[in-house]
């Protein structure tokens, strides 16, 4: 067996790392019989205990706890990032990529959909037509189109085919005007009716 000269070893040939790895377990047969391993285990056990104690103090030391303002800021941003959803690459040139968050596009769609009488927008998912746009720039520039999956509720008595047609037109116009993209497929699911 080739031994690495850089690793400190006990007289019995075992490395100190091997002993440390099993310090939380009972000694094996070799370690019970080997004086050097027993001595090393005794020293490392003290080190392990000291480490455990210091770790415990760190967890309880008020001086090492983040201030509540910092925790609040982290949690607030974490929640915002979850709400924003995926970042969709929409435009790629040699100088860089432009992305837009799924939530930003959904906001535009909800704004347009809710302006239609008898329609209430619900869950909205947005997908780029070219998901690999960020990896394959292609000359001279590439701009993605979008596929929209929108769930809605409509007022009772609404003629659904007509409402869906107007909604598609509205979403297409909103995405073009406010995002700057072409809406390709717009899938609409009417999942509920509500009383006016």
Partner 1 sequence: MSERPLEARLINSDLVADLAARAALDTPGVLRLEPTLKNLLAHLGAGTAHILDRTRTDSTPTRRDGVFATVHDGVADIHLDIATDIAYTALTVAQAVRVQIARAVSHTGLTPGRIDIAILAIEHPPAATEASRPKPV
Judged by the rule CB under 8 A, the positions of this chain that interact with partner 1 are: 70, 73-74, 77-78, 80-81, 84, 87, 90-91, 95-101, 103-105, 107-108, 111-112, 115, 143, 170, 173-174, 176-181
Q: Other C-beta atoms within 10 Å of 22: how many? A: 13
Task: Give the nearest distance from C-beta 63 to partner 1 in angstroms.
Answer: 13
Give 47 or 77: the residue with its C-beta nearer to partner 1: 77
3-state secondary structure (DSSP) of residue 18: helix
Residue 142's alpha-carbon distances to 147, 166, 167, 175, in angstroms, are: 16, 29, 27, 17
Select 34 or 134, whichever has its Cβ closest to partner 1. 134
The least distance separating partner 1 from the CB of residue 80, rounded to whole angstroms, comes to 8
Cβ atoms of 21 and 46 closer than 8 Å: no
Nearer to partner 1, 48 or 143 (CB): 143
Look-up of token digits 């909205």? 124
3-state DSSP call for residue 155?
A: strand
At 98, list the tokens.
């432009």
For partner 1, the closer of residues 103 and 158 by Cβ is 103
* Minimum CB distance to partner 1, residue 147 (Å): 17
């Amino acid at each position: 067996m080739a031994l690495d000269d850089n690793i400190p070893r006990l007289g019995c040939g075992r490395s100190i790392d091997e002993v440390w790895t099993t310090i939380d377990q009972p000694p094996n047969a070799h370690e019970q019989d080997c004086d050097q391993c027993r001595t090393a285990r005794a020293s490392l056990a003290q080190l392990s205990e000291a480490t455990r104690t210091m770790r415990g103090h760190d967890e309880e030391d008020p001086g090492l706890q983040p201030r509540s303002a910092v925790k609040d800021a982290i949690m607030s941003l974490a929640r915002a990032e979850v709400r924003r959803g995926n970042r969709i690459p929409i435009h790629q040139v040699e100088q860089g990529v432009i992305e837009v968050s799924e939530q930003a596009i959904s906001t535009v769609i909800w704004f347009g959909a809710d302006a239609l009488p008898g329609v209430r927008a619900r869950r909205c998912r947005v997908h780029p037509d070219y998901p690999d746009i960020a990896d394959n720039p292609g000359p001279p520039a590439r701009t993605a189109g979008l596929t929209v999956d929108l769930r809605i509720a409509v007022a009772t008595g609404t003629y659904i085919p007509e409402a869906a047609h107007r909604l598609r037109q509205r979403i297409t116009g909103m995405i073009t005007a406010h995002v700057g993209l072409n809406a390709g497929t717009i899938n609409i699911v009417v999942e509920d009716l509500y009383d006016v």
